[in-house]
A = this chain, B = another copy of it.
Amino acid sequence: MLTQTLPLYLQDESNPQAHVCGSCEVRRTALFGALDDAALERVHAHIDNADLPPETRLYARGDNRGAVFTVRSGIVRFERVTEAGDRRIVRVAGRGDLIGQEALLQQAYRDDAVACTPVALCRIPVSQVQQLGQTEAPLLQELMHRWQSALDEAATWSAELTAGPARRRLLKLLQLLQRHANAGGEIWLPRRNQIGDMLDMRVETASRLVSQLRREGVLHPTGTHHARLDAAALGQALASAQA
């Protein structure tokens, strides 16, 4: 799955991975943003890129693949099956986010990670990170930051997206997806049953609410799985559904 694209430095001698990493559009915000050019030089050869179509599974819970990933573009969701047997989407990650950090601790992945949109990511072997960690203190610092923001995001998700009436939960979800909007300002609009897995509601309820928001002009579909939001209308809808 990850071998769909060869490491770029094998594809084009004139455009080695070193150049790709150095000029990567998310470099400053991504994990290796903490590294200087010299340190970057030492790792770039071991990193390869991948482009995944929607609904591709990056890894499954229980896998131990010895790599972490940086999301260069697109949206990734984390799924879990509860002990009761139903699927729940626990969190999403977007551009610049580091995912699969469990691997750094020699631990198996905790969730299924699935591409929501087309996803571009780079795969970083754990050994590389550990080796760098010996000498590059800023990298460790950066790693801990990543962990903390993942934790914070998870807490926010559960505080804002799992409580209150269905309509408000959906509005909060749209607000969150807006932060991951693509270059055209469009958000990824999940399937109805995925909305259900995120917000703990039935497909029918999700459908009713989405249709309602569309009629109210909060949401403008621009494709099967994309839409544009009216920020003002969204804010107003949230304000009037405060409780």
Residue ID in chain B nearest A85 by CB atoms: B242
Contact residues in B for A172 (Cβ distance below 8 Å): 83
State which residues 194-243 of A face B: CB under 8 Å: 200, 242-243
In the assembled complex, the CB of A88 is this many whole angstroms from the nearest CB of chain B, namely: 5
Question: How many of chain A's residues have a CB under 8 angstroms from any CB in B?
Answer: 45
Contact residues in B for A155 (Cβ distance below 8 Å): 78, 80, 90-91, 110-111, 154
CA distance A155 to B102 in the complex (A): 13
Hey, which bits of chain A sit against chain B, CB under 8 A?
Answer: 78, 80, 82-86, 88, 90-91, 101-102, 104-105, 107, 110-111, 133-134, 137, 140-141, 143-145, 147-148, 150-152, 154-160, 162-164, 168, 172, 200, 242-243
Give the 8 A-B CB pairs with smallest separation, nearest first: A158-B158, A162-B162, A147-B147, A154-B154, A163-B200, A88-B159, A90-B155, A80-B159
